[in-house]
Structure 1
Amino acid sequence: MRLVILLLTICGLSGALSAQEDSRLQRLETAEESKDWDAVGRLDIGGSGFCTGALIAADLVLTAAHCMFNRFTGTPEPLEKMEFLAGWRDGRARAYRKVRRAVVHPEYVFDSEAFMKRVSYDLALLELDRPISLSGVVPFRTGSHPRKGDRVGVVSYAFNRSEEPALQEQCRVMARRPGVLMLSCDIDFGSSGAPVFSFKGGEARIVSVVSAKSDVNEQKVALGTPIVRSLDLLMLNLAEGDDVWTPTKSVGFGTGGARATGGAKFVKP
């Protein structure tokens, strides 16, 4: 309830929300259904949990920063235990890649009690050990900050659909504030890090990353982290080697106790 009140206050919403007009989730169960989305993949973490991520270059995956931390201890997850499964479906992936290096937004703090600030910086960029250069696995381009009322879509994995992704092609930006988008998209645990797409001009471009889920007046909502400016910073830090994680080193920022509540990666039973 405290989170719902916080969302209502920050996003300026009051009374009943607009009627749900968004499309339902479409499970991408066949190669034909998923052919345009194979650059989205499941990010497995130590064989016990997962998030969602998406290629923005042949060797770069965009995901949520909180996916990089152990949800119980708040300590960084070892990169050697992470694997990106591009186009994962029914026990097989189009490509399997380990993570060579990673950067987390330098302002992100996993155990911060400032929930909305945590969402604002919940972004990580992973460099794979080898590029994925396969026909049909085309990295997505990124787009500009969406406006309130804009149509967006999400492709994600989740705890009840861990073996194939699902597409919700029509949801809306319900409200936006600096660093936070409230979306009417249907997400769940495991959807953390999922790409939020704009479809302007007929092309799917990533404009945000799923950070957390909640509900407002019994309507499910997703909270997204915009990528404008933050992604440029992550790209620069990765190129220059600033605050870069490797399999043998995790930098100190972002660590702490495990007080974070919303948006945790899904841990398999």
Structure 2
Amino acid sequence: MRNWLIFSLLAAIITTGAVAQDERLRRLDAGTDANPWEAVGRLDIGGSGFCTGALISPDLVLTAAHCLFDKRTGERINHEDVEFLAGWRNGRASAYRMVRRAVVHPDYVYDGNVSSDRVRNDIALLELIRPIQNGTIEPFETADRPGQGERVGVVSYARDRSEAPSLQEVCTVIARQEGVLVTSCTVDFGSSGAPIFTFADGKAHIVSVVSAKAEMNGEHVSLGTSLSEPLAFLRQELDAGGGLFVSGQAVTARIAVGGGRKETGAKFIRPEE
């Protein structure tokens, strides 16, 4: 209860001013605006929907864990049916790759209840069948989670902008609590897994991925995962040979991660891919 009250009071103080200073979404159709974001792509999920993902190395794509689950059955999707379309814009991609292996955070549970515990662990790492090395697509580096009040940005596809991504270069970190990053960034269905960036020294670094949208005190906010520690676990699982899909489930080298369930007080809106 104490954590819920602190979070709610914090949101009431900060949210209104943060949203008022946000930059509008800018569609990245072509040219110099789009070129720096070629490593962000659309993830086509077996013909049933899509998410957003981003390259963090030539053969690794970072996205949200729930993108790999069937929202009707709750079962894990065969990641071999997932395709990464790097820099997808208006019917063409800069590179096309299927997924060879995929790992989700060891503590992630897809149970239909969008809670702070689920958001905190909503992260997945996909290994492509072969690296993307065409000279025009540069993977993004990652960085530590930004502090409250810091400026961030997001590049995402969404239901009403599925043919080209949009950039919101200025939005704000409203709060950080128990591994959940709350921002004023604009997201919608399809934005799941989209990279959230900081822009230190004029260079974009991924600091979180979009898990869900929510409402706090009547304002729309986006919820992102913690990144650095969970991402390290996912890399270890791949290094240990995990992430293969066998008989309807992914086989991983499970690594125990602690953490109890704690709520934030935000009203979560269940995302759709």
Flag whether TM exceeds 0.5 (same fold): yes
Question: Any unmatched runs of 5+ in structure 1?
Answer: 1-5, 254-260
Give per-residue Cα distances to partners, 1:167-203, cap 9 Å, x unaligned.
Answer: 0000010000121011000000000000000111211
Question: Which residue number in structure 2 is paired with residue 71 of structure 1?
Answer: 71
For residues 105-157 of structure 1, give each alpha carbon's deviation from its aligned partner in whole angstroms, at most 9, with x where no partner exists: 00000106471000000000000001000122000000011100111000000
- Which shows bigger deviation, 109-118 or 217-226? 109-118
Q: Give yes or no for contact 1:52–1:156 (8 Å, CA) kept in 2.
A: yes
Pairing partner for 1:13 from 10, 19, 22: 10
Q: What is the RMSD computed on CA atoms of the aligned residues?
A: 2.1
Please name the residue that 2:217 is paired with: 217
Aligned equivalent of 1:143: 143
Q: CA deviation at 1:263?
A: 4.6
AA paired with 2:10?
A: L
Superposed, 1:104-123 pairs within 5 Å as 104-111=104-111, 113=113, 115-123=115-123
Q: Report if the CA contact (8 A) 2:213-2:271 is conserved.
A: no
CA distance in 1: counterparts of 2:166 and 2:205, whole angstroms: 17
Q: Paired residue for 1:95?
A: 95
User: Residue 136 of structure 1: SS of its match in structure 2?
Assistant: coil
CA distance in 1 between partners of 2:21 and 2:45 (Å): 35
Where in structure 2 are there 5+ consecutive unaligned residues? 253-267
- The superposition leaves residues 64-115 of structure 1 with CA deviations (integer Å, 9 ceiling, x where unpaired) of 0000000111001112211000000000000000000000000000106471
Partner of 2:189: 189
User: What does 1:1-269 correspond to in 2, within 5 Å?
Assistant: 10=7, 12-13=9-10, 15=12, 17-19=15-17, 20-111=20-111, 113=113, 115-242=115-242, 244-246=243-245, 250-251=249-250, 262-266=269-273
Whether the aligned pair in 1 keeps the contact of 2:120 and 2:226 (CA below 8 Å) is yes
SS of residue matched to 2:244: coil
Could you tell me how far 1:262 is from its partner in structure 2?
Answer: 3.6
**CA distance in 2: counterparts of 1:58 and 1:206, whole angstroms:** 15
Contact kept? 1:104, 1:234, Cα under 8 Å: yes
Give TM-score scaled by structure 2 length: 0.87
Change (3 A) 1:198 1:11: farther
Residues 163 and 112 of structure 1: is their aligned pair in 2 closer, same or farther, counting only changes over 3 Å? closer
Alpha-carbon distance in 2 for matches of 1:212, 1:48: 19
Q: Tell me how far 1:249 sits from its aligned partner.
A: 5.6
The CA deviation at 1:9 is 5.5
Report the CA distance shift for 1:45/1:119 in structure 2 as closer, same or farther (over 3 A): same
- Give, in whole Å, the separation in 1 of the partners of 2:110 and 2:176: 22
2: CA distance, partners of 1:14 / 1:132: 41
Tell me the secondary structure at the aligned position of residue 93 of structure 2. Answer: coil
Query: For this pair of structures, how many residues does the alignment match?
Result: 254
Amino acid at match of 2:96: Y
Q: Which residue of 1 aligns with 2:260?
A: none
With the length of structure 1 as denominator, give the TM-score of the two structures.
Answer: 0.88
Q: CA deviation at 1:248?
A: 5.7
The structure-2 alpha-carbon separation of the partners of 1:157 and 1:209, relative to structure 1 and needing over 3 Å to count, comes to: same
What percentage of aligned pairs have identical amino acids? 52
Q: Which amino acid letter does the alignment assign opposite residue 220 of structure 1? A: H
